[in-house]
Every structure is written in structure tokens, then in C-alpha cells.
Amino acid sequence: MSCCDFEFGVAASGGQPTDSYSALEEQKLRLAARDMGSGMLQSDFHVPDMHCAACIGKIERGLTALPFVDTARVNLSNKRVSVLWHGARGSAAELMNTISRLGFDPSTFDLEASVISEDRTGRQLLTALGVAGFAAANIMLLSVSVWSGADGTTSALFHLISGIIAAPAIAYAGRPFFRSALKALRAGALNMDVPISLAVLLAFAMSLYEALTGGDNAYFDASVTLLFFLLIGRYLDHRMREKAHGAVTRLSRLGAKGASVLLPDGTMHYHAAADLQPGMRLAVAAGERIPVDGRILSESGTLDRSLVTGESQPVTLTKGAAVEAGTVNMAGQIIVEATRTADQSFLAEVVQMMQAAEHGKARYVRIADRLARLYAPAVHLVALATFAGWMVFGNSWQDALYAAIAVLIITCPCALGLAVPIVHVVGSNRLFANGVMIKDGAAFEKMTAVDTVLFDKTGTLTRGAPAVVVPPQASAAERSAACALAAASAHPFAKAVSQHLGDSQRSIELREVKETAGSGVEAVLAGNTARLGRRDWVLEIAGGSVPPPAEGSEVLFALTGEPAIRFGISDALRPDAVQTVQALNAGGLDIEILSGDLEAPVRAIAAELGVKKFRFGMKPADKVSHVETLQNAGRQCFVVGDGLNDAPALTAGYVSMAPSSGSDVGRLAADFVFTGDSLGAVQLARATGMATGRLVRQNFAIALAYNCIAVPLAMFGFVTPLFAALAMSASSIAVVANSMRLNLMKLPGSKVPATGARGEDRLDSDVRTADKHSARRPSRTLDATA
């Protein structure tokens, strides 16, 4: 069940919309694209008739040949094509036209629509399978009579009746193959369904010829049963891919369809989730899901944040606390102010990261692409050579044709096409069940080469929820100014200062607010520069006496020419931090701590964790320089950090990870993001990467062994077309089944299996709950006090 890449010279023009798309349609396609900045757009298309690695190669090469396309990536599991292109130099319509010219039917990608399309495809395959099975059973009954010694007239009659049954059955049940083959031929290309269709039609045509001429080789039962087995393989392949990709589908359905927006006059109007904008006040009833990221305006609220943290225990959040899309309000109506749109929410980010897991162009994917590219010319040449060889050695043309049909059926690169993406889908689902998201499937492969782990301290090894333990000696004005400046920063230490000085909050106008990574935040306050951050950076503007260094972590605040004041900070280690570091050490990895904090707290954390190598007082450039030095020396660095100051190092690392509680820049720079408090996610990500590497190699071995054994057997006549159909389906199913074994493996750091009562069953329960609540629609106008 795969498509190959053998094209007869399909030209791809580029640049402007063609006549097949109007200016309005082009505008709609552009609106559906994501703005990636710097004039780049990302368009996502649903292409349901892709089947294998060769389809991937054909589409990617066809799109990247366009002068305005930067990259094109195909997600085989959910039939998605993602194209990054220059918006000013080309058109989205030309992208659609190019895919169409290659023999496929693209449409704008929508996850729910793609799920509906896949469900429809499954039903169509099942119906075709039923028709083929019914016809095969009836023809087989007639064939038994022929085989039992029926006389010539009866045998000829039964052959004709079998042909009458077989013709409409093949015409209907063979449509999934015939349509795909016809599209490919019209596009001037060959795909896997071309030899399959050719084999089925040749088997039927030969049987029809024999029946009409009174021959003995009318095997209508074989031709219909062949189609029946092919459909079994394609349907099982479809269902297993659907199973592997199920977590993304279920997760996408957890988002609320909309919310009641509280208006200034006290009434509420229902808005779809896509129409919600930052600043809107949303009324979320008990049991409903929060549709977009926001912050609580009510005095308090009890929420189920298991989607975010992995912990099933509800938590109580107070006024001003941030909440994420997909979390559930457990008790009483709360008012939430939207801070992001639905497509920028936490839930949307998680779905995008999980979908992106299959897009990475790892080394194994490139190998599969090259092998699949050779398939099309090879299979037809081998089938032709088989037919010619049998004829040369004196065999009948019927026997030679049956051997050629077996070759056409049995040679299939489908297993190669599934070898990598299915493992990545299952691996990303396993990680998601444990609160870890992966942004690029290539990160799995990178994990297998890691030999050094570099940890940031604050917010990474520690919880990132520090508290002020040594309050400063400061005036009310200084406390108020420090509180205002701390509120302008997302750094955990600044949050601790802001929380500590909450009772000092008053209206203060800050101008020219600027946060410097690795140093702190500064602003102009009543004409004077104010700074909050590192000791050396703050002391550059301070005057008067210098506060003594703290025994632990600290933050300083000062106005220009004024004495600095000091906040002593303390932060606890994350759960499992000690066990995780010990396990990584036991696995032969070199561990280092890179921190911008003072020596004393960094040394104390290193001693508690048993880490011998640590560096303190490091700025972002220092961290990047150290990472590059290690990698230039041949080390492969796994960087784990959370803050704005860690983003350059996360990007410089061979592979990287960040907590979801960290800065937006840090999350965007990382390959993995973990949502819980436990640092065991680091160990789990590495263990999953190692396991996926083993499974990918096993899948390649299965695919190559199948072709090396099956093709020679078919050429020498040891395999019938029926057995070839079974073998072809079995090779794909074996690869998918082998990949699914990852769900059963016991991986270090894993607390929740990918399947079972706490994995998929929990997601299914959440989806049912979400569907139940989304079915409830408030009236168009409601009284806010009702």
C-alpha cells in the first residue's frame, strides 16, 4: 500500500495563482496559513491519497522545486503536507496546483475535517472489503464444483457465472486502487496502486479469456480473493495508523468549542473559540473547559490541570493566576480574562508539537526516501523480466503471467515508508501520556548520540517557584518601585520578589522597560533608571553602601545613585532531581550545571545532586560558548533549561528540553517540553529516544528482509498472487505492530503507560466529557447574574 516516485516529466510552474483559483480563494488560502515571521508563511494541506515513503518523496520534491518554497514536509500518519514559503514571491494556489499535478487531491488541512475524512475512508474500505469477501465466497462455491470434476458444459457455465459475479465486484471493490492508479497515470507518474491494479485486472482478464475460449485456467476466485486480501491489508493498515495517531485526534477534541463572553452591560453572548480575542472576559461554568489561555478574575477557582501537569488532583488558584486552554473548571462559575487566541493557546501548542513529531528529516527518513524512490522502475522491470524468463524457459504464457502478477503484488516499499513515522507517532504518544511533548521527530534520533547533559539551575533543577527568605531593609517607596519592576519580568526570581512585595503594589508609571537576558530588568522611573537583577549589573548604577552577598541566591534592586537593596532567595529542588541525575550518571552520561547564579547556591545544589562539574555566574553568551566548546571537542550535548537566558544555549545544543513553566522563548527553542514538576521527564525522554532508535532499526530490518526474501520467491514461482497479497499486507502490519511494542516497554522515568487506564482511557474519558459539555450551548443573550 504505497506510492512510488517515478515521474514522466511533470512540470511545476511557480509564482502566481492559476485560473483554477480565484483571487478570493487565494485570499482564503493565505488566511489559513500561519505567519512565521520575516515574510514566511506555513500552509498545511490534507492529502488523503498518500500511502508511503515514495509519496512523501514525490510531493516534497515537487513542492521544493518551486522557487518560492523553502521547505516541504509530509506527515504520512495524518496525511498532512506542511509547506514553508515566501508569501511575497508565490501563491498558496500554486502549492495546491502543484500537488494536484502530481496526482493527489489536496485540501486545506483541518484536524477535525481530516479525522472525518479518515473515518469516511475507513468505512469505504470496509464496504469494499465486504463486497469482495461476499463475491469471493460465492465464486469459491462455484469453483469447488469445477474442481470436484464437473463435466465440460457445467464447468464452462460455472466459469461464466463466476465471471458475471467477479466483474461488478472487482469494479466496485477495486476502486481504492483503480482511482489512485488513474490519478497517477494522468499526472504522468507511477504509484504503488498502478502495479496492484494491473495485477488484479490481468488476473481477471486472463480468467475471462480462458472462460470465453473454454480454457482450464479461469481463476476468477483467485482474482477476487486477491483483491479481498489486498483490501484486508489496506484496511488493517488504515486502522493501525489511526490507532497510532489517536492521541493527537483525542487531544484536539479536548478544546472547548466556544465560551460565554461577559459584556460591559452585564449580559453574555456565546462566541466560538476561534472568535475569542485577548482582553475578553469569559464566564466558565462548573464542569466546562477553558477555551483559551487566560488569567482568573474571580477571587479563586478550583481546576483540573491534569492535561498540563499530569496530576489528577484538582488545584485551587487565586485571582490573577494563569490558566491554560483545556483545563476544567471543577466548582462554581469563574470569570477568566483571555490572554491568547485559540490558535496560540497551550492546547494548540501541544497539538502542534505532537503533529510535528513526524515531520523531522532524520537520517533514517532520508534513507527510506532514497530506497522508495528506486521502487517504481524496479518493480515493473522485475515483473517484465520474470514474465520473459518464464517464457524463455518454455513455460506457458499463463504460468509466466501469474508469476509476473505475483511479483507486481509482492514488491512493496510501504513497510519502508512506515518504518520511521509510526515509531515517532507511538513515541510521541508515550511521552505525551507522561507530560512530555516533542517538537521534532528527529530529536528521537539525536537522543541516541547524547553523551553530555547540561542543566540550568533556577527553574530547571529547582521548581522555579522561589521565595524571598531574607527580606530587605527598604523604604515604602523602594519596595513599591521594586514591586513594579519585578512585575515586568517573567524570571522566577522576579516573580518571587513581586509576590513578596504584593502588599506594596501601587500605581507606578514605568517607561522604557527592558529585560536583559542573564542580567535582569530595568526601566525609567520618575526620570531615574531602576534595575532589578544580578548583583554586578545592578551595582553598575547604584551608589552608597553595598549590601553583603547572601549565603544563597539573591536579587538586587537599585535606583541610579542610590544604595542597592538585597532580596535573599531560596528555591527547592524538583521531585526526582537526585534520582534522575544519579540515573543519568549511571548511564554513562557526563553531567554539568550551568548557572547565572552565585557560587554558593550553585555549589550547594551541585553537592546535593552529586554533580562534580558546575559553573556559576554565567551569562547567555557564556553558556553558548561552553556548549559550542564541548561540541567542537566531539561531545553531543543535551541542554535542559527554562529561561530567556537559556534560549541561546538550548538552540546551540545538539538536543534540548525545557519545562512548560519556563519562558515562551525557551519553550520555542527546545526540542522537548515537559509539563509536570518531576525532572524524571529528562530520563524518560532519553530512554524513549533510545527505544525508538532500536525499533526504527528493527523496522528497517523487517522491511528489507521481507523484500530480499519475498521477491526472489515470487520470481521463481514459489509464491502465488494470493500469497503475495497476504505477504505484502503482513509486512506493513508487522512494522506497525513492532512499533506499537513501545507502548509495552518499561521505560525509566515513565509513570503513565501510553495505553491503559491512566493513558488513552483517561484521554477518552476527557473527550467524552468535552463532547458532552460542548453539546450544551447557552442562549445568545444571558444575564450575567443568572
What CA–CA distance (Å, rounded) separates 276 from 416? 44
Name the grid cell of 287.
464542569
Name the grid cell of 467.
521565595
Specify the 3-state DSSP secondary structure of 318. Answer: strand
Name the grid cell of 208.
475471462
**Sequence-distant (≥ 6) Cβ neighbours of residue 352 within 8 angstroms:** none
What CA–CA distance (Å, rounded) separates 41 from 21? 19
Specify the 3-state DSSP secondary structure of 621. Answer: helix
What CA–CA distance (Å, rounded) separates 337 from 466? 26
CB-CB contact of 155 with 146 (8 Å): yes
What is the DSSP secondary structure assignment for residue 462, as one 8-state letter?
A: B
Cβ atoms < 10 Å from Cβ of 593 = 25
Alpha carbons within 13 angstroms on the beta-carbon side of residue 332 total 10
CB-CB contact of 118 with 79 (8 Å): yes
Please report where in the chains the cell 524468463 appears, as a residue: 389
Name the grid cell of 684.
524518560
The DSSP bridge partners found for residue 262 are 268, 281
Please report where in the chains the cell 515513565 appears, as a residue: 750
The DSSP bridge partners found for residue 554 are 568
Name the grid cell of 532.
532589578
Whether the CA torsion 643, 646, 652, 654 is positive or negative: it is negative
Please report where in the chains the cell 511533470 appears, as a residue: 10
Specify the 3-state DSSP secondary structure of 720. Answer: coil
What CA–CA distance (Å, rounded) separates 261 from 712? 67
Please report where in the chains the cell 461464466 appears, as a residue: 160
What CA–CA distance (Å, rounded) separates 743 from 753? 7
Tell me the residue ranges of DSSP E strands in 5-153.
Answer: 6-7, 34-37, 40-46, 69-75, 80-86, 107-108
For 23-49, b/e burial (b = at least 16 CB within 10 A) is eeebeebeeebeeeeeebbebbbbbbb
CB-CB contact of 338 with 292 (8 Å): yes
Name the grid cell of 537.
549589573
Q: Phi then psi for 339, rounded to 5 degrees?
A: -115, -10
294-296 and 322-323 strand pairing: antiparallel
Give the closest residue to 73 by CA, choosing from 448, 443, 427, 421: 421
- List active site positions: 456
Alpha carbons within 13 angstroms on the beta-carbon side of residue 52 total 29
34-37 and 528-533 strand pairing: unpaired
What CA–CA distance (Å, rounded) separates 297 from 301? 9
- For residue 381, what are the CA distances in angstroms to 101, 375, 386, 713? 25, 10, 9, 16
Name the grid cell of 136.
469471493
What CA–CA distance (Å, rounded) separates 511 from 523? 6
AA letter at 701: A
What is the DSSP secondary structure assignment for residue 564, as one 8-state letter?
A: P
Which region, left, alpha or beta, applies to residue 191 given φ > 0 means left and ψ of -120 to 50 means alpha?
beta
